[in-house]
Amino acid sequence: MLTIRLTRVGKTKQPLYRFIISEKSRDPWGKALEILGTYNSRTNPATMDVKKDRVAHWLSKGAQCSDTVWNLFVDQKIVTGEKRRLSSISKRHKEKMDKK
């Protein structure tokens, strides 16, 4: 299955991310089929440069997005839909919160 995800590039303590399309089981730092854009989280506000037509092409071919990429695309209105939950609360912690 193909997936659109982030891979980190840049110097130490100066991350820059690329949106890539690759096989889900493949290493994110390995060879990518295509680089779809970049994301810089260090600027204020964060900057994102994406080839929207290529993202639409790969999604129409059946590629999936990672949760983080999906949420970034929803923010930029590249895709429509709900944001995905990235973290979950354990049952034990949820019970403690319900007691309070």
Q: Residue 18: which CATH number?
A: 3.30.1320.10
The pTM of this model reads: 0.81
Report the domain count for the chain.
1
SS3 61: coil
Handedness of CA 48, 5, 61, 32 (dihedral sign): positive
Q: What span, in angstroms and rounded, lies between the C-alpha atoms of 50 and 73?
A: 9
Q: What span, in angstroms and rounded, lies between the C-alpha atoms of 82 and 60?
A: 18
SS3 67: helix
How do the pLDDT tens digits run along the chain, 100 residues long? 999 999 999 999 999 999 999 998 888 888 899 999 999 999 999 999 999 999 999 999 999 999 999 999 999 999 999 998 887 888 888 888 888 7
Range of the domain at 91: 2-99
